[in-house]
Amino acid sequence: MKRNSIPKLHFHILGILAACFSIINVLGSDPDCLRSIKESLEDRRHELSSWNFSIHTKGFVCSFKGVTCWNDQEDKVLGVSLRGAGLKGPFPTGIRYCTSIQHLDLSRNQLSGSIPSDLAQHFPYIVSLDLSNNNLSGPIPPSIANFSYINVLRLDNNHLTGEIPSELSKLERLHEFSVTNNRLSGPIPIFRYSNFSAKSYANNLELCGRPLSHCKNEDLFVPEEDLFVPGFVVGLSVSSTLSMLLMLFGLPRLSMNNIRSYVFIIKNLKGMKYHLILPRSQISHGEENINEESEIDAMEKYICRLNLEEIKTATNDFDNKKEDCATQI
């Protein structure tokens, strides 16, 4: 009896799994998606009269008005276009069951309420989304930035409020974008891969930033790429200053004779045609006792900038044994 009970148990488990899969298929099917759209919207003009769900042949939804399928022999919806159909009501949330949809156009209707925040979760392959010319309100969901393949996003002529989510700037494929005639405010995101004209943002009185007028606190929001040039200039200045300090204080203390020789060498290296140093025979004993620091100050204006390698080469690596290095040139 135990042996017979095991196969029966297997059959029971398989039956339960099959029932579960059937329920999931019904609840999550594309026909159910379209049925939800029809049931949730008011269709005064009977634009959806062809949406007859009493037929259950393969691909029957592909003949519905405004519906396109991936393949006429299966019920996988590629796009829904109900532009200007006079539909009224909230955004049809049941459309989430059309998981393979790429094109959705519900523009020029009377849709109201907010845009669902989890749209991107259910439409991972959406390419174009047009919800323009409706009565939608509330914020633009930041999750729209998860539409990785979207090319067209039209939300114009609604009553949307709040800021344009900065996350939208990451959309690589977006080439058509419009939020005109809304009630949006705050700074416009800097799109990394596209440049949209002022026409895309027109008639949002509190929007600011390129390509519209500057924001009052725009200086506080500097893109990372705009920081490169000033950062490079500051870094160059600091490194030059540190190099000069190292040269002045990090080198061995030099005698006055060697300093004079180095100045003479520098003049020759830079192609200058006058000589700063007089022959030793013409230098009086009293002049040799003059304060060395004052003489160095007097000669500073004639010294040209050289890097450390040039100085080491000209002075034979600061060789103090050779008092007159000028003869080496």
Token reading at 76: 């996988």
Residue 56's Cβ-count burial label (10 Å; 0-12, 13-18, 19+) is exposed
Mean pLDDT to the nearest integer, 97-124:
93
Say whether pLDDT at 209 is over 70: yes
Give the residue from 164, 146, 166, 147 showing the smallest Cα distance to 155.
164
Q: State how far the Cα of 159 lies from the Cα of 139, in Å rounded to an integer.
A: 9
pLDDT tens column, 46-72: 999 999 998 878 889 999 999 999 998
Could you tell me the CA-to-CA distances from 252 to 101, 248, 260, 312 in Å, in that order?
77, 9, 15, 12
Q: Which of 22-36, 113-127, 144-158 has the highest mean pLDDT?
A: 144-158
Say whether pLDDT at 76 is over 70: yes
| Mean pLDDT across the chain | 76
Give Cα 205 to chain centroid, integer Å.
25
Ordered alpha helix ranges (H), 145-272? 228-249, 256-269
pLDDT tens column, 224-278: 444 444 555 555 565 666 666 566 555 555 445 555 555 555 555 555 444 444 4
User: Which amino acid is located at 81 in the chain?
Assistant: S
- For 2-222, which CATH superfamily applies? Ribonuclease Inhibitor (3.80.10.10)
What region, left, alpha or beta, does residue 100 occupy, with left being phi > 0 and alpha being psi -120 to 50 degrees?
Answer: alpha
pTM: 0.60
Q: Which residues partner with 88 through β-bridges?
A: 42, 110
Mean pLDDT to the nearest integer, 117-132:
92
pLDDT at 193 (0 to 100): 85
pLDDT at 84 (0 to 100): 97
- φ, ψ at 258 (rounded to 5°): -65, -40
Say whether pLDDT at 220 is over 80: no
Token reading at 256: 């006055």
Mean pLDDT to the nearest integer, 199-225:
77
pLDDT at 13 (0 to 100): 46
Band (pLDDT 50/70/90 cuts) for residue 12 is very low
Token reading at 80: 């829904």
Q: What is the share, in percent, of the chain residues with pLDDT greater than 70? A: 57
pLDDT at 303 (0 to 100): 58
Q: Which of 97-106, 187-196, 284-293 has the highest mean pLDDT?
A: 97-106
Q: Which of these ranges, 79-83, 163-167, 315-319, has the smallest mean pLDDT?
A: 315-319
pLDDT at 206 (0 to 100): 92
Domain boundaries, the chain: 2-222, 223-251, 255-328
Token reading at 217: 């606190």
Q: State how far the Cα of 151 lies from the Cα of 153, in Å rounded to an integer.
A: 7
Say whether pLDDT at 307 is over 50: yes
Band (pLDDT 50/70/90 cuts) for residue 11 is very low
pLDDT at 298 (0 to 100): 54
| Sequential DSSP letters for 86-106 | -EEEE--GGGGG-TT--EEE-
Using a CB cutoff of 8 Å and minimum separation of 24, what contacts does 154-159 make?
Answer: 154/107, 154/129, 154/130, 154/178, 155/115, 155/131, 155/179, 155/182, 156/132, 156/180, 156/181, 156/182, 157/132, 157/133, 157/181, 157/182, 158/131, 158/132, 158/133, 158/134, 158/182, 159/135, 159/183
pLDDT at 273 (0 to 100): 43
Confirm if 194 and 177 have CB atoms less than 8 A apart.
yes
Q: State how far the Cα of 28 lies from the Cα of 276, in Å rounded to an integer.
A: 93
Say whether pLDDT at 305 is over 90: no
Could you tell me the CA-to-CA distances from 186 to 98, 201, 212, 217 in Å, in that order?
34, 12, 11, 10
